[in-house]
C-alpha cells in the first residue's frame, strides 16, 4: 500500500498487511483501521480480518476492505507459518501466558535428541483438540468464558495438518527448557494446543510463551506495516485532500 493509491480504492477493495501488536485483539486492529478509513472516506466501509491472532501473539494479520472482504475465506484457508517459544517443564490452564503456571513437571530425562525426535510425531495430519481457553462455541457459549468459570469441558478433536515443525534453539534455565520453534500448518491449527501436546509427548508439560505469525500463503510479515504507520499514512492522504 502506498499513499498514491486513491482513497476510493479502499471501497472497491484492498488487502492490507498489518503487523498486529502485542495485547491487541484482531478485532481491535480491524476497529482501528475501520475508524481511520471512515474518517478518510466520510462513509462506513466493510472491513474484516482473515484469521484471528490471540492478544498475546504478534505478527501478520490480513485485513480486507470493501469488496475484498469476500476473499476472507480464501485467505483463511491458506498455509500459515509461526515462530515462537515453548517452555517445557510447566503448564498453564490456557497453555500460554494468559494464566499463571499451575503445575511443574520433570525435565531431567529430556535430551536435545528427544526434543528433535518428538517433533516428528506432529508432522502430517494429526488429531488436535482446541485449548480450553479458545473462542470456539460450545452449546452457544464461548469456550474461554466457560473455562474462566472453572468448566473444563473437553472440546472435540479435529483433523489439522502440520507441514513443518522445526526447532531453532534450545535453552535450559533451572529446571525449565525453552524451545524456539518454527511451524508451517494448515487451517484450524492451534499452536497453544501444539505446545500442550508436545509437552505430553515428552512425558512432561509445556506452554506457549511467545508466538508470531510470519506468513499466510504468499503474504509475509516483512511486507506488513504497523498500526502506527497505517495511521500516519492515512493522515498524509487526508492532508493531501485539504
Q: Which pLDDT does position 53 carry in this prediction?
A: 94
> Could you report the per-residue pLDDT of 181-192, keeping only the tens digit for each?
999 999 999 999
Residue 163 has pLDDT above 90, yes or no: yes
Residue 242 has pLDDT above 50, yes or no: no
- Region 66-72: mean pLDDT is 94
Residue 229 has pLDDT above 90, yes or no: yes
Q: What is the mean pLDDT of the chain?
A: 89
Residue 1 has pLDDT above 50, yes or no: no
Residue 142 has pLDDT above 60, yes or no: no
Q: Which pLDDT does position 32 carry in this prediction?
A: 96
First to last CA, the chain: 21
Q: Which pLDDT does position 155 carry in this prediction?
A: 66
Vertex 102 angle, CA 98 and 106, to 5°: 120
Q: Which residue has the higher pLDDT, 1 or 29?
A: 29
List the catalytic residue out of 19, 28, 54, 112: 54
C-alpha 188/C-alpha 135 separation (Å) is 12
C-alpha 109/C-alpha 105 separation (Å) is 11
C-alpha 46/C-alpha 51 separation (Å) is 16
Residue 240 has pLDDT above 80, yes or no: no
Burial of 154 (0-12, 13-18, 19+ CB in 10 A): exposed
Sign of the CA dihedral with 206 first, then 212, 215, and 216 last? positive
Domains, the chain, in order of start with CATH, read: 9-77+218-241 (3.30.2350.10), 80-216 (3.30.2350.10)
Residue 131 has pLDDT above 70, yes or no: yes
Q: Which residues are CB-neighbours of 21 under 8 A, at least 6 positions away?
A: 58, 226, 227
Residue 33 has pLDDT above 50, yes or no: yes
Residue 143 has pLDDT above 70, yes or no: no
Q: Which residue has the higher pLDDT, 37 or 150?
A: 37
CB atoms within 10 A of CB 57: 23
C-alpha 29/C-alpha 27 separation (Å) is 5
Residue 54 designated active-site: yes
Amino acid at each position: 500500500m502506498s499513499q498514491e493509491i486513491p482513497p476510493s480504492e479502499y471501497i472497491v477493495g484492498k488487502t492490507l498487511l498489518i503487523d498486529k501488536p502485542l495485547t491487541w485483539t484482531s478485532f481491535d486492529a480491524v476497529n482501528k483501521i475501520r475508524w481511520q478509513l471512515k474518517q478518510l472516506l466520510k462513509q462506513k466501509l466493510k472491513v474484516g480480518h482473515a484469521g484471528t491472532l490471540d492478544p498475546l501473539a504478534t505478527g501478520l494479520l490480513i485485513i480486507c476492505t470493501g469488496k475484498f472482504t469476500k476473499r476472507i475465506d480464501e485467505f483463511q484457508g491458506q498455509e500459515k507459518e509461526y515462530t515462537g517459544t515453548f517452555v517445557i517443564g510447566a503448564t498453564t490452564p490456557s497453555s500460554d501466558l494468559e494464566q499463571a503456571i499451575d503445575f511443574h513437571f520433570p525435565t531431567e530425562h529430556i535430551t536435545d535428541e528427544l526434543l528433535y525426535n518428538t517433533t516428528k510425531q506432529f508432522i502430517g495430519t494429526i488429531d488436535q483438540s482446541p485449548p480450553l481457553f479458545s473462542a470456539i462455541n460450545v452449546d452457544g457459549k464461548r469456550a474461554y468464558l466457560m473455562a474462566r468459570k472453572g468448566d473444563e469441558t473437553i472440546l472435540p478433536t479435529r483433523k489439522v495438518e502440520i507441514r513443518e515443525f522445526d526447532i531453532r534453539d534450545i535453552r535450559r534455565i533451572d529446571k525449565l527448557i525453552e524451545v524456539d520453534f518454527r511451524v508451517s500448518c494448515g487451517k484450524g491449527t492451534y499452536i497453544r494446543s501444539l505446545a500442550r501436546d508436545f509437552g505430553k509427548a515428552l512425558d512432561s508439560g509445556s506452554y506457549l510463551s511467545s508466538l508470531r505469525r510470519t506468513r499466510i500463503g504468499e503474504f509475509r510479515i516483512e511486507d506488513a506495516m504497523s498500526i502506527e504507520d497505517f495511521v500516519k499514512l492515512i493522515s498524509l492522504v487526508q492532508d493531501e485532500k485539504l
